[in-house]
Amino acid sequence: MRLSARLVLAGLTMMVGGSVASCSAAPGLAYAGGTTKPSPRISTASVPASGQAPVKTAPARPHLEVVGAPRGVKAKAGILADAANGQVLWAKAGYAIRPIASLTKVMTALVVIRAGSLDRKIRIPKSVLNYVAKYGANGAGLIPGQVVTAGELLQALLLVSGADAAYTLATSYGPGMGAFIAKMNATARELGLTHTRFTSPDGLPYPTGNSTYSTPAEMLELGEVAMRAPAFRSIVDERFFSMKKGPGHSSYWWGNSNELIGWYPGAIGIKTGFTVVAGHCLMFEAVRGGRALIGVVLGSPPTGPGAGAQDAARLLNWGFSLKQST
């Protein structure tokens, strides 16, 4: 199934440099409730409305000729920005509060990385099997009783999106689930993510499918912060991670669930997510011609595998096609 999605993505990458037309959705930053709310780092003045003249930017930023909007983006909400200066190129319901599924694991990884000691050895708890089974969660195949490092658990967390890895890290670094979730929410407040809330370390739909939530703009902020951490950045662009059998653990192999990696030219991350309520979600970044673009799509319809990646590819194609001059 993933192969078919990647074939679609391969076709999408050929659209770079093509004509750009307006889509029906207005690309403004709409906050839940209908009002607009400026972000601490993202200026709504940078977001063009359909049919408006090219955006005027601050002198320190390169001028971008923004024409129209990307075509065919089916996500219910999303945002695309220049990773170097934070200039928003496009947004759709950028401040709408929505469930974020496994994008949650980006915050889980950030909390662990900030705590440090990634070489610490952690024993996989027996309770992890019941946890994964109870919620029908995606797992990395971790075996209770085996001992792995926190860094290796981050590989399982970010690549294969293992809920068992999230559970193991949370219970170890909390210590305990409740304490860890409190740290996640405290970090969100520290970063100014005032419309973000976590109720799990993995984005699983409990107590309800909408309990863990954020906005595209705030997830963009989180992605920017996470990508500045070398330990995080070095993982999310890997196509796979393999670990040989060693003292206290079996061999493991984890492939990257992000369909962009290895297929979209210049893709360097970041993280996938899916639940029935949230739809397909993707936090992504790509580099081309010395430019880096970062974005988020939330609620891409579950029409098939890689729906979020298809939306991301359309946004990236459009973003990289914009003319840039200093």
Predicted confidence (pLDDT) per residue in 7-22, tens digit: 334 444 434 333 333 2
* Cβ atoms of 219 and 100 closer than 8 Å: yes
Residue 88 tokens read as 């928003």
> Do 151 and 10 reside in the same domain of the chain?
no
Verify that 91 and 45 share a domain, yes or no. yes
Predicted confidence (pLDDT) at residue 265 exceeds the cutoff of 60: yes
Residue 169 near residue 148, CB atoms below 8 Å: no
Q: Are 146 and 243 in contact (CB under 8 A)?
A: no
The string of pLDDT tens digits covering residues 191-224 is 999 999 999 999 999 899 999 999 999 999 999 9
β-bridge partners, 295:
80, 284
Domain match, 20 and 90 both = yes
Q: Is the pLDDT of residue 40 over 50?
A: no
Same domain, 109 and 81: no
Q: What per-residue confidence (pLDDT) applies to 251?
A: 97
Any domain includes 214: no
- pLDDT at residue 7 in the model: 34
- Same domain, yes or no, for 41 and 156? no
Co-location of 52 and 160 in the same domain: no
Q: How many structural domains comprise the chain?
A: 2
Domain containing 106 equals: 101-199+226-255
Residues 234 and 131 in one domain: yes
Which pLDDT belongs to residue 65?
Answer: 53
Give the end of a domain, one of 212, 236, 255: 255
**Is residue 113 one of the residues assigned to a domain?**
yes
Give me the pLDDT at residue 67, please. Answer: 56
**268, 285 Cβ separation under 8 angstroms:** yes
What's the rounded Cα separation, in Å, for the pair 124 and 121? 10
Which H or E run contains 189?
Answer: helix 177-190
* CATH at 246: 3.40.710.10
| Domain finish residue from 218, 240, 255 | 255
120 within a domain of the structure (yes/no)? yes
Start-to-end CA span in the chain (Å): 43
Instruction: Please state, for a pLDDT cut of 90, what percent of the chain lies above it.
Output: 75
177 pLDDT above the threshold of 80: yes
Residue 213 included in any domain: no
Find the Cα–Cα–Cα–Cα dihedral 199, 202, 207, 209, rounded to 10°: 110
Q: Note whether residue 206 is domain-resident.
A: no
Q: Is the pLDDT of residue 241 over 70?
A: yes
Residues 105 and 248 in one domain: yes
Per the domain annotation, does 277 fall within a domain?
Answer: yes
Q: Tell me the DSSP string of 97-166.
A: -EE-GGGHHHHHHHHHHHH--TT-EEEPPTHHHHHHHHHT-------TT-EEEHHHHHHHHHTS--HHHH
Taking the CA atoms of residue 11, residue 16, residue 20 and residue 26 in that order, the dihedral angle to the nearest 10 degrees is 80
Instruction: Output the pTM of the full model.
Output: 0.83
Q: What pLDDT is recorded for position 30?
A: 35
> 66 and 50: one domain?
yes
Are both 81 and 187 inside the same structural domain? no
Interval 79-99: pLDDT, tens: 999 999 999 999 999 999 999
Q: Which residues are known to be catalytic?
A: 102, 105, 161
Classify residue 74: in a domain, yes or no: yes
Tell me the pLDDT tens digit for each residue of 46-87.
333 333 333 333 334 455 555 567 999 999 999 999 999 999
Q: Based on the domain organization, do 109 and 235 belong to the same domain?
A: yes
Burial of 266 (0-12, 13-18, 19+ CB in 10 A): middle
pLDDT of 137 > 60? The answer is: yes
Q: Based on the domain organization, do 54 and 22 belong to the same domain? A: yes
Q: What is the mean pLDDT of residues 314-322?
A: 95
Task: Give the residue-averaged pLDDT of 26-52.
Answer: 35
Instruction: Please give the Cα distance from 105 to 11 (Å, whole number).
Output: 29
